[in-house]
Structure 1
Amino acid sequence: MDEIRKLFSVDYSVRIYLIGEFRIIGTGGENITPTASKARGILAILALSENGEIPRDTLIELLWSRHAREQAQASLRQSLSVLRRTFRFEEQDFFTADRNKVCLKKGKLWLDSDEIVNNTSELLKNDQLTKLCCGTVLKNLEANDPAFKSWLDIQKQALEENIKNTLLARLTKTPEDNVDTKKHRAILEGLKNIDPSASPVPPDGKEEKAGNNPRGETCLARDAQLYRSCLLKKVLRFWIEGVLEQSLYKKTRIELQLNETSEQMLQAWGDVGQYSVSNSMKDSNADTNKLRSNSEIGKIFSELAESLLILGAPGSGKTTLLLCLAQQLLELAEEDSCHPIPVVFHLSTWANDRSSLDAWLEDELESRYQMPRKQSAELIRNHGILPLLDGLDEVDARDRTDCVIAINNYRQQNTWLSMAVCSREEDYKNLPLPLITAGKVLIHALTESQCDTYLQVIEEPHRGLNAALAENRQLKELLTTPLMLNIAGIAYQDYAENTLPPAEPHGDVKDRLFSAYIQTMLSRRTPAKDSAHYSKDDTCHWLTCLARSLDEEKQSIFYLDSMQPGRLSAAKQYWMVTQGSVMICALSVALSLGLMGGLVMPLKYSLGIALVSGIIGGYITGLLGYGNLIKPVTNIKPSWTTLRNVSAIKQIGAVALTGIVGLGVGLVFGPVPGGMIGLLFYILLLFFNSLEFELGYEHQALHADPNENIHQSFRNAAIALTVAGTTGFISAFIITGLEGAMVVGILAALLSAQFFGVHTCIQHYLLRYFLWRNNSAPFNYVRFLEFSVDRIFLYRVGRGYIFIHRSLAEYFARRKY
């Protein structure tokens, strides 16, 4: 690259290369090209413009043509912030941006394409000329937007043609006296035969030093890019598409058939959910009185050193604001492979183990996002995760202070780590110590004028909310948050004055509002022909059971394939799911053994021996605790560390069970098959005890079946049955012949299938059967959950479900059965 730079005599502070790979070289010779693709796109557009000035609207149309305007404006601000940091060591006025346009001072920079056009006579003296044109231009600009792709294709073609034609025109003239004729002809011939698809000459590395990248430590190895890509897709699908884009605010517009593009509508909704910002790094009394909107949260996050606490009343929009921040950060992470991935975590699960925050984050990535443990630990260790922690107030009050201490300790160990935390304001004020953050956002309650503006927008025929407020003044006192305003707008849209109830105590008005919302959503929406419909009583009852279970388990998100036997209160039912399921598996194997034994001895003797062995073995296995938890077998991984941690009781039990199984088979078929099956059983027990049950990852990135882990367990059981059965048959056939091979093959297949999925499936469906018998859950749980999502009682988050708001979950939890 030094050879190419020597072609030009003029020295500039910053050099922009358009030929070959698009790159920017700073004053000191370091490569300062932004890693974010949108930022590179903005620079390319500015560099190729006539005067270096481009209106902001034009940049949005080219780079964010598929985005909503507010989101596009927020993304543009983020990209401009990246560019300001890129040029922070260069001239102050080199790159500027105001409210209307963005400017690049082209007179103060060097462009390789301009030098070729203007200084060709100097270039003719150097044989490096053809290197400037031997490949495509603007090579490393990603065309993630169709409008930008079209613009880029046109610019590439025009730039290549302009450079080639200019050089050819100069070279075809009479050579100058100081230019070697032979070299002149070689250059001319080379330019005529340029292959546009050829790769550009790589730089020699002397000039492009590693820039000072503050996020360089988070760059992942190439083999980890798959996990990064999958995690990005999951966060986008689970939280942005599944929750933010299905938010009650948007659903309310649909239910009330409001015109999203009307000025009045935009004004009404733009006023909802405003907040103020305070910076703890400055004077604590210097809170700004300026109210901000959701689209500015990314900019505020950057201003507050990417360390933020979001506070507000219940239903004020804390989670919505957090997800707006996640959406803006996701776009940066998609453009820049070195930007940490914003991941939403629910703090309600922290109290389960009360571990350090980094260990808890690893657990959550593994269990909620199905990322393998090793990759989770590596990503956290390299600061590749930007935690967005929701629900500090949902942590049990007894554990909340310890949770804050864990967060603060993690922040002190990683001082520059980016993070955002959400909490109810009242619960946060009761904490004995504050969170360590650079600033906080306080979401304000709605004013009466904001509420009136909203009411004017929805005041159309058959809108009953105004009538309800006229009858019940206490109802309006509740409408201080976007949640209550949205719910009231739906709940009372079809009410007439003569059907409204009299005023009730304040606490009951809120419950009646939720009840009216539920009734409206169940009555107005006509179910599709192929979907189920549930009565109000059944819907409320099962949602009440769900809300109480989540409250007892201190969870916010319900995962169908993670249900445990602890949901059953009856002792007999609990025994059936835990030890009883083990007995079922043992007896099924024993029955097969006894029936096959009828070929070599009287059936009653073979059945008797097999069933006794099965009962004793199953009982001991149940006592050892193998059925106490339901562990989906999706992505199994043996670990010597896990095996070493197995208790002595389980190790002794494994030897005893091996003896019982081997003795039972030996009494029926002889010592050789008995010894082989006993040895196989012992190996299976050792292997099973060494397993780390990791949830599948890659195949769930885009498709999240609510019961996926149970289905995957069944598929793994089928694989284990096939592999173990075939291996056992071939091994036994070599030693004992056909008869022994059939026995060993069938028993090996059955035992392997039980260990690697069948037992888990039996436990899961036994649990669901008893919950249905107890009327604690519907028979088809998935259909009911999807029904509740359709009626806007729940959101779907990946393969889990969450109530649209904690207030609604609390309403169901305190209802009487």
Structure 2
Amino acid sequence: MTSGCLNNRYHIVRKLAAGGFGETFLAEDSYLPSRRLCVIKQLKPIQTNLDVQQLIESRFQREAVILEQLGEGHPQIPQLYAYFAEEGRFYLVQEYIQGTTLNAMAIATATEVRQLLTSLLSVLAYIHARGVIHRDIKPNNVILRQDACQPVLIDFGAAKETMTLGMPPGESALSIAIGTRGYMPPEQAAGKPTYASDLYSLGMTAIYLLTQQPPHVLPTDPRTGQLLWQDASRVALDANLAAILDRAIAIHQRDRYASATVMLADLEADSPIFSPPSEPTSPLLATLEPPEFAPSPEPPTPVPVAYSQQSYRNRQILLNKVKNYWIKGVLETSLHGKALIELGLETRLDAVEHPWGMAWETPEQSRQSLPPGTQAIDKFDEMGEGRTLLILGEPGSGKTTTLLELGHHLVLRAEANFNQPIPVVFNLSTWTQSKQPLANWLQQELQTKYQVAREISQIWIERQQLLLLLDGLDEVDATKREYCVQAINQFCQKYGHTELVVCSRIQDYEMLNCRLQLQGAICLQSLTLEQVQHYLENTGSALVALSQAIQKDWTLQELVKSPLMLSIMTLAYQRIPLEDFPRFESICDRHHHLFEAYIQRMLNRRNVESVYPQQQTQQWLIWLAQKMVAESQTIFLIERLQPQWLANPQQLKVYQLIFWFNFILISGLIGSFVLEVQKLVPAVLIGGIVFALVFGTNQIVPSPTLKWSYQRAQKTLILGGAIAPLFGIALKLAFGFAFGQITEANYSSSLPQEISQGLIFGLTFGLILILIRGFSTPTIDTVTIPNQGIRQSAKNALVFAIFGILIPGLIAWVCEFRVNFWALCGLSFGLVVGGGEACLKHLILRLILYCQGCIPWNYSRFLDYATERIFLQKVGGGYIFVHRLLLEHFAQMPLETTPGTRKG
């Protein structure tokens, strides 16, 4: 086709190229006044079998979306303008790059090649981070843009792959391999390209520029198959550049660079790449300027954020909490810290669903071991802006430790650069509502775990200023886990620039019917016996017997592959003679014995005062673990104890009866000072009904730290200024008719009086309500202590009680009403609304649990004691078990039905 119109829009100017997959044309866009030039690629399927036509079209659409995303995100990739299908053929409409391809340029110098490699490696780092392999890098597919003097990478091979669907049976894989002879590595010729394949092609392109000869005509080493190109170079070479290119074009991909980022770092460390000479020595150097899109070893910087003094303070407080809670409180004191062995990592691209709906790697390529020494932060940094990562592993393999190590790096960056997002650790176990958006759940967690006001957290989420570290996807209730995955995916679609990391046990994740739509996934590899023995040999004589026992016992060999189990063994089996090691025929029995030995060793720890009886300590921990598993909780907060933690419905009824008894008793005592008996009973009943409708009895909600907010008070003006007075009038009239204060005899005189008093009554308490609601939480608490929510509720109740006494009492004194009546009503109102009801509920619940032997009275003291015994770790004002496996072990242990000895 050399003329005509495609899609009734694009007029063909001339043919640019033709190949086995189709033809390329230069065309004009007749829909635009400028008649913009564009490149149209016509793609031909291998065959036109109707059975695969729909599949081809569907995949073609998805790949078009990918090409559009790539072009919009990087200036050195052509933009995709449109795609369409016509008469059984598929067309891509792309940006026309005016310039010269590399194969038309004169010979390049070593400096020019360095600059070119640096610029193109930035492009490869960008596309590889998004799961894309170019597959056809060669001099013809690199254009030096005339206007910007940048090398532009064109002609991605992805769409060509679609055209091979439905090829005839028996067709050679080589005959449909995407790539060009000489520039295509062996694995790509076999139809199995990897990221390292692009580095091979780029290296061959550089060699072409240095030799002006196609790679396939250059000699090779008959023993190794390695290309012998240096003697053919027509320019002076330095040894470092030659070594970098030799590594890039190694025959075996394991010998090449692990990533474009690593190759770029090698190139930058070797020479001052960004210092071009003052005068160009060839046409190539004259057009090639220093790259403007080269990646840095540090992740890309987000758009700068202007911080007010308060905003900056809030940011620093949250960073300090994350650092103190998780890095210092958990990571630096974790059991894994006892066994610092370098964990191997493996990519698992098949574990995630590509954000654009497809992955281009084959199953074999989707699982590759990363080079030794590679850390999660290295893999995370490779992904560029908007990074999302899934961390998988076996139980006890070190997923949370890896997540927190990653978080440690990110916290340091955020402290050094205000424009970096704030890394925050969350545990997904508390995600319990199937239809709850993740953003709403994040606001709840920030308020509960980090004492961040909803107003602040909402701004951070909307402006995408948080970096989410989400641990424990496997700890979400199994019936809600897939809903949680969907919520994360929906969040990623809505907040596309928010970076996040998710952790999960691999077995639980693989059982899901849906996948996370993240950019990448890594899996922690098990420890080898060589690693374990080397570690034990370096720990001294205390673990010699353990090392010998591992060599003889296969159950120990299986368990010790987990870093957690190795850590527990080093504590539980320390200084135990070899003959005292029991033998087990099953891993389950060995697992159970190991945890029992650990528990006994920790209970008998020296240098820790034995404050509580061992049996009682163990029972309290069992009860706590069972309740946390039942409620899907990982972090335990004393103030978040709820009535549903009671053992059975009978105890819940006892709790409710005690609460109502106390409510009636307190209300009756206060009311008896100002009301007659016949008025006291209905007043208490009405108050109880209103209380039940507003607060209920089965939920304890502590009050937050308060600070006055005029904007918050404005929202209550209608309720306090209009509805409250009407309610006051209705209440006063009801009492007037019920108790004979309004009769037919005094109707005309008493009715206006009752209405006016009711109006003042309503306005007074409406004013108190406005004042109370005007208190919000626009800042973050700098200090977090156990049971802080209930302590704060008590303080708030006291403050509001004072308001409740003063304001109504003053108004009553001015209006010559009964001062004591109004003051006591205000006192009751302030106590309840300010947080007194939460304190009363919490006190009753703690009392019942104490009497049942479930908890000690001084609960925080006991939890600190359990932390000293290395059963728990302190996270801010809460506590977590040192590992999920220990939590599960305690939860499976039998709980005594009768209360034990209570102490503390």
Is this contact kept in 1: 2:608–2:869, CA < 8 A?
Answer: no
Q: CA deviation at 1:484?
A: 0.2
Task: Provide the C-alpha distance between the structure 2 equivalents of 1:514 and 1:642, rounded to a whole number of angstroms.
Answer: 55
Aligned match for 1:807, one of 882, 885, 889:
885
Alpha-carbon deviations, 1:673-697, whole Å to 9, x = none?
A: 9858963796489669x96997685
Q: 1:234 to 1:303 in 2, by over 3 A?
A: same
User: Matches of residues 335-346 of structure 1 in structure 2 within 5 Å?
Assistant: 335-346=416-427
Q: CA deviation at 1:298?
A: 1.8
**Going by fraction, where is helix more abundant, 1 or 2?**
1
Q: 1:416 to 1:620 in 2, by over 3 A?
A: closer
Aligned match for 1:275, one of 319, 342, 345:
345
Q: CA deviation at 1:370?
A: 1.9
Q: CA deviation at 1:461?
A: 4.6
Is this contact kept in 2: 1:725–1:745, CA < 8 A?
Answer: yes
Is this contact kept in 1: 2:376–2:402, CA < 8 A?
Answer: yes
Task: Provide the C-alpha distance between the structure 1 equivalents of 2:408 and 2:738, rounded to a whole number of angstroms.
Answer: 61
Is this contact kept in 1: 2:790–2:838, CA < 8 A?
Answer: yes
Is this contact kept in 2: 1:549–1:567, CA < 8 A?
Answer: yes
Aligned match for 1:628, one of 692, 698, 712:
698
Alpha-carbon deviations, 1:530-558, whole Å to 9, x = none?
A: xx622332222111111111111112111
Q: Does 1:299 align with 2:386?
A: no
The aligned amino acid for 1:733 is W
The aligned amino acid for 2:849 is L
Is this contact kept in 2: 1:343–1:388, CA < 8 A?
Answer: yes
Task: Provide the C-alpha distance between the structure 1 equivalents of 2:893 and 2:719, rounded to a whole number of angstroms.
Answer: 44
State the secondary structure of the residue aligned to 2:480.
helix
Aligned to 1:485: 566
Aligned match for 1:791, one of 869, 874, 877:
869
Q: 1:398 to 1:644 in 2, by over 3 A?
A: farther
Is this contact kept in 2: 1:631–1:693, CA < 8 A?
Answer: no
Is this contact kept in 2: 1:219–1:384, CA < 8 A?
Answer: no
Q: 1:677 to 1:100 in 2, by over 3 A?
A: same
State the secondary structure of the residue aligned to 2:611.
coil
Is this contact kept in 1: 2:729–2:762, CA < 8 A?
Answer: no
User: Matches of residues 518-667 of structure 1 in structure 2 within 5 Å?
Assistant: 518-528=599-609, 533-571=611-649, 573-578=651-656, 580-595=658-673, 606=676, 609-610=679-680, 613-615=683-685, 617-618=687-688, 621-622=691-692, 626-635=696-705
Q: CA deviation at 1:103?
A: 7.7
User: Matches of residues 352-391 of structure 1 in structure 2 within 5 Å?
Assistant: 352-391=433-472
Q: 1:576 to 1:783 in 2, by over 3 A?
A: same
Task: Provide the C-alpha distance between the structure 1 equivalents of 2:470 and 2:607, rounded to a whole number of angstroms.
Answer: 37
Is this contact kept in 2: 1:249–1:486, CA < 8 A?
Answer: yes
Aligned to 2:538: 457
Unaligned 5+ segments in structure 1 are: 1-88, 111-212, 254-268, 598-605
Q: 1:662 to 1:767 in 2, by over 3 A?
A: farther
User: Matches of residues 198-213 of structure 1 in structure 2 within 5 Å?
Assistant: none
Q: 1:681 to 1:240 in 2, by over 3 A?
A: same
Q: CA deviation at 1:747?
A: 3.5
Q: CA deviation at 1:519?
A: 0.7
Aligned to 1:770: 848
Aligned to 2:311: 224
Aligned to 2:405: 324
Q: 1:814 to 1:657 in 2, by over 3 A?
A: farther
- Measured on the aligned residues, the alpha-carbon RMSD in Å equals 4.1
Q: 1:482 to 1:712 in 2, by over 3 A?
A: same
Q: CA deviation at 1:525?
A: 3.0
Aligned to 1:441: 522
Q: 1:491 to 1:719 in 2, by over 3 A?
A: same
Task: Provide the C-alpha distance between the structure 1 equivalents of 2:421 and 2:665, rounded to a whole number of angstroms.
Answer: 52
Task: Provide the C-alpha distance between the structure 2 equivalents of 1:518 and 1:448, rounded to a whole number of angstroms.
Answer: 25
The aligned amino acid for 2:476 is V
Q: 1:623 to 1:363 in 2, by over 3 A?
A: closer
Alpha-carbon deviations, 1:255-284, whole Å to 9, x = none?
A: xxxxxxxxxxxxxx343x221335677634
Is this contact kept in 1: 2:546–2:578, CA < 8 A?
Answer: no
Q: CA deviation at 1:223?
A: 4.6
Q: CA deviation at 1:780?
A: 1.4
Aligned to 1:720: 800
Unaligned 5+ segments in structure 2 are: 1-147, 152-240, 242-263, 279-299, 742-752, 896-904
State the secondary structure of the residue aligned to 1:345.
strand
Q: 1:494 to 1:536 in 2, by over 3 A?
A: farther
Q: 1:684 to 1:313 in 2, by over 3 A?
A: farther
Q: Does 1:215 align with 2:295?
A: no
Task: Provide the C-alpha distance between the structure 2 equivalents of 1:509 and 1:424, rounded to a whole number of angstroms.
Answer: 21
Q: 1:404 to 1:567 in 2, by over 3 A?
A: same
State the secondary structure of the residue aligned to 1:249.
helix
Aligned to 1:679: 762
Aligned to 2:790: 710
Give the number of equivalent residue pairs.
588
Task: Provide the C-alpha distance between the structure 2 equivalents of 1:297 and 1:679, rounded to a whole number of angstroms.
Answer: 61
Is this contact kept in 1: 2:469–2:500, CA < 8 A?
Answer: yes
The aligned amino acid for 1:798 is G
Task: Provide the C-alpha distance between the structure 2 equivalents of 1:426 and 1:645, rounded to a whole number of angstroms.
Answer: 52
Q: CA deviation at 1:708?
A: 0.6
Q: Does 1:241 align with 2:321?
A: no
Q: CA deviation at 1:463?
A: 5.7
Q: CA deviation at 1:771?
A: 0.9
* 213-222 vs 299-308, which moves further: 213-222
Is this contact kept in 1: 2:336–2:401, CA < 8 A?
Answer: no
Q: 1:290 to 1:672 in 2, by over 3 A?
A: closer
Name which structure has the greater RCO, CA cutoff 8 Å, separation 6+: 1
Q: Taking structure 1 as the reference length, what is the TM-score of the superposition? A: 0.64
Is this contact kept in 2: 1:591–1:611, CA < 8 A?
Answer: no
Is this contact kept in 2: 1:582–1:759, CA < 8 A?
Answer: no
Aligned to 1:147: none
* 706-715 vs 463-472, which moves further: 463-472
Q: 1:459 to 1:229 in 2, by over 3 A?
A: closer
Aligned match for 1:756, one of 834, 856, 873:
834
Task: Provide the C-alpha distance between the structure 1 equivalents of 2:556 and 2:486, rounded to a whole number of angstroms.
Answer: 39
The aligned amino acid for 1:760 is A
Q: 1:222 to 1:616 in 2, by over 3 A?
A: closer
Task: Provide the C-alpha distance between the structure 1 equivalents of 2:740 and 2:332, rounded to a whole number of angstroms.
Answer: 63
The aligned amino acid for 2:845 is L
Q: CA deviation at 1:742?
A: 3.5
Quick check: which has more Rg, 1 or 2? Answer: 2
Q: CA deviation at 1:395?
A: 1.6
Aligned to 1:63: none
Q: CA deviation at 1:382?
A: 1.1
Q: CA deviation at 1:624?
A: 6.2
Alpha-carbon deviations, 1:411-440, whole Å to 9, x = none?
A: 233444322111111122222232222221
Q: CA deviation at 1:249?
A: 2.7
Alpha-carbon deviations, 1:340-397, whole Å to 9, x = none?
A: 1111121222233532222322232222222221221211111101111111111222
Q: 1:105 to 1:406 in 2, by over 3 A?
A: closer
Task: Provide the C-alpha distance between the structure 1 equivalents of 2:694 and 2:265, rounded to a whole number of angstroms.
Answer: 69
Aligned match for 2:414, one of 322, 327, 333:
333
Aligned to 2:894: 816
Alpha-carbon deviations, 1:645-698, whole Å to 9, x = none?
A: 99xxx999999877788999999xx9799858963796489669x969976853
